[in-house]
Amino acid sequence: MKMRREHQVPLADQTLEVLDRVREFSAEEILVFPGQQNPNRPMSENTLLYALYRMGYHSRATTHGFRSTASTILNESGRWHPDAIERQLAHIDANQVRKVYNRAEYLDERRRMMQWWADHLDTLSVPAEIINLHERRREHDTTRL
């Protein structure tokens, strides 16, 4: 981590499946996602940003923006303690006294939260039912006659 401190990250079942698939390509490497120039160093965060650019999201999305989206949805769900969400994002409490005394990792809740998050993302990959509002209005108008 850029803050040079340990950060445990609970992984959802879907994440573990992806890592198993990636292992087929990186089994000999020390890192799962090695850098292109030096396989002993992790890939640059810019690699993901440039991938977003190539997918057409230049000036519309950033990798850090996904963290913001996750934080917002996790908080809005009302299912998770805000401290657990902040710990998952590797944020440190701004309150200096609380930071010193509260060293909780909230791992059990974070495990459940990450599984819920992965399941939630899976629901987003299912195509939505498209409703033609113009057609619906015409149908409604003809039934009123």
Q: To the nearest whole number, what is the mean pLDDT of the chain?
A: 88
Q: Is residue 95 part of a domain?
A: yes
Does any domain span residue 46? no
Answer whether residue 54 is part of any domain: no
* Residue 85 burial (C-beta neighbours within 10 Å; 0-12, 13-18, 19+): buried
Domains contained in the chain, number = 1
Any domain includes 49: no
Question: Is 35 inside any structural domain?
Answer: no
Q: Evaluate whether residue 104 is within a structural domain.
A: yes
Q: What is the mean predicted confidence (pLDDT) over 135-141?
A: 77
Query: Domain span at residue 118?
Result: 61-126
Q: Where are the alpha helices (DSSP H) in the chain?
A: 13-26, 45-52, 63-77, 82-88, 96-101, 107-124, 133-144
Over the stretch 32-77, which tens digit does the pLDDT of each residue have?
888 888 889 999 989 999 999 999 999 999 998 999 999 999 999 9
Q: What pTM value is reported for the model?
A: 0.77
pLDDT of residue 127: 80
- Angstrom distance (rounded) from CA 62 to CA 97: 33
CA angle 81, 77, 2 (to 5 degrees): 60
Task: Please tell me the predicted confidence (pLDDT) of residue 23.
Answer: 86
Q: Is residue 72 part of a domain?
A: yes
